Structure 1
């Protein structure tokens, strides 16, 4: 799991507890029959489970609430939320979690997504998202999956019972900062790698032109050039 090494020092010898001891509530959503396209900025919508399953919140993965249905503002997703996919047809995506860094207004939880509400005196929300993405927690979730009709799911009781390390809040925040620094470093490397690939493609394309005397597929042909 990306950046998981930053957890090792604080969590390796920590006492174990259950996730429920760090939560004040778990909220579930609503899945009315919606229109397939995303809502406009001033319209209400319901997020798809795919808004969560990449590990980063994607507000555009949403469906427009029909005009005849009244929104439920208490289900609106807010910055700072910790969201968990409780059901999915793909087993590997059940239990995927994300921390909502930012979002547009008027998007509601679906009933396939849980909002975990941490007790912030003992649990940093961002740390919770990092922790629930680790291999150990993912393994526990995999062992709990049930569903015989193509839909795999976990219950709220299952989520509360997950075993996690008991880490002091100040250590949680240190881990979150280290994890964020790791992500920034990876993003920089990805950008450099993308430029390197583009440069390599350009060199190969030019070598093909030099070897064959022909234009590369991406190079425009000028009128009259071969007349």
Structure 2
């Protein structure tokens, strides 16, 4: 029996401890009054997954300043699954945490070791499985976990020296995975650059035209349709991939077939995403090559009907993915409330090179072969990324099950360490979690699910006395 890979019976000398009992200070950040602008540190919601510094006004400011070796836990989904330490020397201005952060501060005598250990545990499968479940069961406009629930979670704590060995081993192994992941990211970007350079070389010598010049009729918006079970099907925006429309991705709309007739998709239609929260996805074009079932397109999509006497639909699909077209779309897109949008006027004015029909056929054949080869490479990169993530998951699970590094019976047991922390907490006058949060109207308060069941019993009499086996890992350089 285990919780997220952590065994119910911990190794000898380990102990289960509430997260909130490990720190001398646990508090929430407080949003300032008057719109003061602060520096925001460690917001792990970016594609890089690394700490970044932003203008606090963009996400949520705070008056709470953090210190080196503080552990920050973000309560908002999906950022809640990442935890970072603040670092010195990045900026001379004070580091602070967003108002959605929970700050955990450790006793001076142990923080240099315990802070890195706890931070890594909060990124482990055990904690992430719990926090994902807690947030997914939450209700309200914002899904977040309650501070008291986070602080009540039990953490497997080994002797201090073993914590040091675990962190060192994880740093060594995970740094290798980080290097490999970085190489995979670079490889993926190189594949994209190769495709763009090849497409540019194949088409750049031809005279440009505007999209509106090669259509049989004007661009047309779809229709907004509520969902109704049993109604006429309408495409979801996710049906528009980088290449072809997946008509199987649809919902039942609240309309009849007669209402949907003007919006039915047909083979050869070119559908363009009218809006998206990501700039790289707005204006994405996707070709309909097969429509086995009657389905309409929604208001989030604009339809273009290529004039096959001027342009092949497959060529339009190909050239629409070019870097030149993307730059035009992204430079002209408008943003409202965080949503990027394009309209018929913007799309109709997009320019791209257009050879004659016979040349288009040759180019499409060549491009199909190139795309297929690049697709094989991209698939290999994706598989490697999944394997890297699986290995990272396994490393963290083994570390906090006591199987990554050897135990040393001579090490001071965790119980003694916890006694020292308890004494320092009492000396500092810390009796319970200190909540500092701004006043909010009841409607603004987020709700989360009840505290997940704690890990199994931690009765030390049931712990195995034998030393746990060590996981021997060999990761290629």
Runs of at least 5 residues in structure 2 that lack an aligned partner in the other structure = 1-191, 395-467, 471-477
Distance 1:149 1:101 in 2: 34
**8 Å CA contact retained: 1:7, 1:175:** no
SS at match of 1:167: coil
Counterparts of 1:1-227 in structure 2, within 5 Å, are 1=192, 3-25=195-217, 26-35=219-228, 44-66=232-254, 69-71=255-257, 72-189=260-377
SS at match of 1:123: coil
Structure 2 length-normalised TM: 0.38
Of the structure 1 ranges 2-11 and 176-185, higher mean CA displacement relative to structure 2 is found in 2-11
Distance 1:188 1:165 in 2: 28
SS at match of 2:220: strand
Distance 1:177 1:166 in 2: 16
**8 Å CA contact retained: 2:220, 2:344:** no
Distance 1:144 1:12 in 2: 22
Seen in structure 2, the aligned counterparts of structure 1 residues 187 and 213 have a Cα distance that, compared at 3 Å, is farther
Distance 2:303 2:384 in 1: 40
**8 Å CA contact retained: 1:89, 1:152:** yes
Distance 1:155 1:91 in 2: 14
Distance 1:84 1:199 in 2: 34
Structure 1 length-normalised TM: 0.74
Query: What are the superposed Cα offsets for residues 83-135 of structure 1, whole Å, 9 maximum, x if unpaired?
Result: 11111122221110111222331211111111111111111111101111111
Runs of at least 5 residues in structure 1 that lack an aligned partner in the other structure = 206-211, 215-227
Seen in structure 2, the aligned counterparts of structure 1 residues 63 and 21 have a Cα distance that, compared at 3 Å, is same
What is the total number of aligned residue pairs between the two structures? 204
**8 Å CA contact retained: 1:10, 1:171:** no
Q: Alpha-carbon deviation of 1:196? A: 8.7
The higher radius of gyration belongs to: 2
Q: Alpha-carbon deviation of 1:138? A: 0.4
Seen in structure 2, the aligned counterparts of structure 1 residues 59 and 116 have a Cα distance that, compared at 3 Å, is same
